[in-house]
Chains A and B, each alone.
Chain A
Amino acid sequence: MLGSVFAGIGDGFLLFLIASGLTLIFGVMRILNFSHGGYFMLGGYFVYQAVASGSPISLPLPLFVLAVVGGALAVGVVGIATERLIFRKIYRLSDIASLLGTFGLLLVIEGVAEIIWGVNPMSVPFPTALGRSIVVGGVRVGTYSIVLIAVGIVVAVGLWALLWRTAFGERARAVAEDRYVCELAGVNTALVSTSVFALGTVLAGLGGALATPLIALTPDVATAFIIEAFAIVIVGGLGSISGAMIAAIGFGVADSLAITYYPPLSGVIFFILMFVVLLVRPQGLVSNARGLA
């Protein structure tokens, strides 16, 4: 029981890393971004390209950290470029049209990855000292999962501080509440949008980069994670970072318990939970009618 709960929490934090950027971008731009999965995948391939483009043999920790940070920032650069070129124009479309626009972008990113790296699964080794496990309270836990949980907590606290304790956060929340009034008040809303989008894509890239030791890299990683991430941000409440965290951990634990006690539910539990929560609370667990929460 404790073992499955712990495993579920570890899994939930990886999902939270993906979902946090997604819900942040929704909060400010009101756009549910399919291509977020694409940035996640790119983060993974950038790390692969940096550390493993020879033979995957061993990976010193400092090199891995460097590659993860570099990979996440590189994804942010791609994010800024796509925001300027494409998203600026997508914002003014209706919610469904913009959803489809970002789906188009997801296809483009996935296709480009397939052209560059092919579809053969690739992987990045665990950085030295992190490919092990320790026993906590009679439960065997991977050290890397503990690192992921730690990074997830740092990201959550960092986002909270950024949004509620800085001038930038104040502007971002104001734009999320009412973009029009902000423009009248002289706020550079375009700059705020670009910054938030860059931050969101960096988080996606970070998630993908950190996920590399735990997944098989293929172009369809982009779609494999996005459906779960959507479920999380919607159940958590669109625009709510704390809601995304609760939902991510909830899904992770529920999936883990399902596999342990009733395996036929694995893979289906996501949809059942999402369905039930939305029927009871269509606005999601933590919600703010407009803006970030």
Chain B
Amino acid sequence: MKKHRTTFAALAACSLVIAACSSAGTSTGSSSTAPPSQSQGSGSSSAGGGGETSASSASQASTESSGSTASGSGFTGEPLKIGFLDTMTGANGNVGQLALQGAQIAVDQWNAQGGVLGRKIELEVKDEELSPDKTVQHMREFASEGINLVTGFTSSADVLAAKPLAEQNNQLIVTAGTTDTSLTTTQHSKNVYEVAANVHMMNVAAAHLAATEWKDTKVWDGVAYDYLTGHDAWNEFGKLLATANPNAKTGKTAFVPFTATQDTPFINSLLAGNPDPQSSALYFFLFGGGAVQFAKQAHPLDLFKQYKVVAGIGAGEEFSSALGAEGPHIYYVHDYFYQGYDNPVNQAFIDAWKKLPPFQGLNLYGPHEWTYEGYTAMLAYLNAIKTAGSTETDAVRTALSSIEFDSPMGKVKFDPSNILAAPVTVWQCQGDSTAQFGYKCFGAESVGPDVTLAK
């Protein structure tokens, strides 16, 4: 027994040392741009138990700001801490980590220019583990640390968990990655702003194209995840389509469970509708691993070749990157594509992104949408603080609602429902064995933000 006890104690000690090392290794100023085993650390800040790790602004993106003291850069006030709360671990950890890359790029750029209101900007990163109770805990931590400005967020449920606390503790949330339409409609809060294009905006853009550029499409089949957002998205698209293009109608649908390991039966049920490659279109509302798995199992059955148009709602180039040369020809309907915009902000963003090391085997030619969302959410805060001349919640909120600021997609502002009125970008990607990463992307165009569906 004694021997066992010692071994166990040693094991426990080892675990603690490992934990300590991995957080120590990251608090030394590695930015979000480090490879996964370290970037987790910049995303680390052990909740409650101290050891808070502000992702320091030392980074590859701005060479001169690597010093730990602010004196050289002329910062006058106390550092300004902005909370970054997102899913940094587990199956969707890549979403939070890519968003953090973007937020960190914005912070580094502004710090290189002297910060905001003379203060150096620091990110206080916390992991909400896609769990509402972790969200509540971390929002309360931010409150007790005096942090009133928070960004991040991928899961809509976690925004709903955070909302009452934000209202109670007078904190602001600018979400980077949430796309649930209800957040700015039925669940609207004056303390919550949303940067990413929501499902409604993407649906409007897709329906608009179904009536204009894709007006030859006659039948729209759909595939979506089997959850409420998936069903709602498809139903709304059907209604918008009926308004936009009376000649087109909806056809077969397949709702795939998140837990599915076998997609062939869904693929067969779509094929059973005999889609016509000349006039059929597919509404593709899958993302993450499930989208890749579906495409893999669809590949031998040539599903995607049966459609004139495949419109990907919610997925992005992580899909084409994983599939390489097998990737289907897909039109992504999402908020941002780096080739679509020619302006200095976008250029600076792309330049900073290019200095980052590759991320987890993800083969990208330009910054991902999630990185854009993290970047733009942070730009919204920094511009609002600058305009307000204050970091107080009420002043920043007033500024957020009124200012127009330069984003990678040009001048944008929040609309009265608190969602960023920015265009939706449609671009195409396709597997191509001659391309560097086995796929190529092209043909970006902007839809909106004020697109109306013609009768």
Contact = CB atoms under 8 A, between A and B. Distances in A.
Check A-B contact in the complex, CB < 8 A: yes
Interface of A: 3-4, 7-8, 10-11, 14, 55-58, 114-115, 117-123, 125-126, 130-133, 140, 142-145, 213-216, 218-220, 224-225, 228, 252, 255-256, 259-260, 263, 266-267
A214 B296 contact: yes
A267 B325 contact: no
B301 interface: yes
B69 interface: no
Given A125-B324, A125-B325, A256-B262, 14 more contacts: A4-B265, A10-B264, A56-B324, A118-B36, A119-B90, A120-B322, A123-B322, A130-B300, A132-B300, A133-B300, A143-B300, A255-B262, A266-B226, A266-B255
B43 to A, nearest CB: 13
B259 A55 contact: no
A131 B327 CA distance: 13
A120 B318 contact: yes
Contacts, number: 146
B261 A228 contact: yes
B300 A259 contact: no
A256 B361 CA distance: 33
Contact of A121 (B265, B322, B436): B322
24 contacts: A3-B272, A4-B265, A7-B265, A11-B264, A57-B325, A118-B94, A118-B360, A121-B322, A125-B326, A133-B300, A140-B268, A213-B296, A214-B296, A220-B90, A224-B259, A225-B261, A255-B265, A256-B264, A259-B266, A260-B268, A266-B260, A267-B257, A267-B259, A267-B260
B365 interface: no
B289 interface: yes
Given A122-B322, A125-B326, A218-B289, A55 B363 contact: yes
A216 B94 CA distance: 15
Interface in B282-315: 288-293, 296-297, 299-302
B13 interface: no
B359 interface: yes
Interface in B216-260: 226, 254-257, 259-260
Nearest to A225: B261
Nearest to B319: A121
B219 to A, nearest CB: 19
A78 B289 CA distance: 26
B361 A118 contact: yes
Nearest to A252: B262
Contact of A216 (B226, B259, B292, B326): B292
B341 interface: no
A80 to B, nearest CB: 22
B284 to A, nearest CB: 15
Contacts of A55: 324, 363, 436-438
B37 interface: yes
Nearest to B297: A214
B265 A117 contact: no
A118 to B, nearest CB: 3
B93 A119 contact: yes
Nearest to B269: A260
A224 B288 CA distance: 14
B264 A7 contact: yes
B318 A133 contact: no
B24 interface: no
A34 to B, nearest CB: 17
Contacts of B256: 266
A46 to B, nearest CB: 15
B372 to A, nearest CB: 17
B157 to A, nearest CB: 19
A259 B223 CA distance: 13
Given A120-B94, A218-B91, A56 B325 contact: yes
Contacts of B447: none
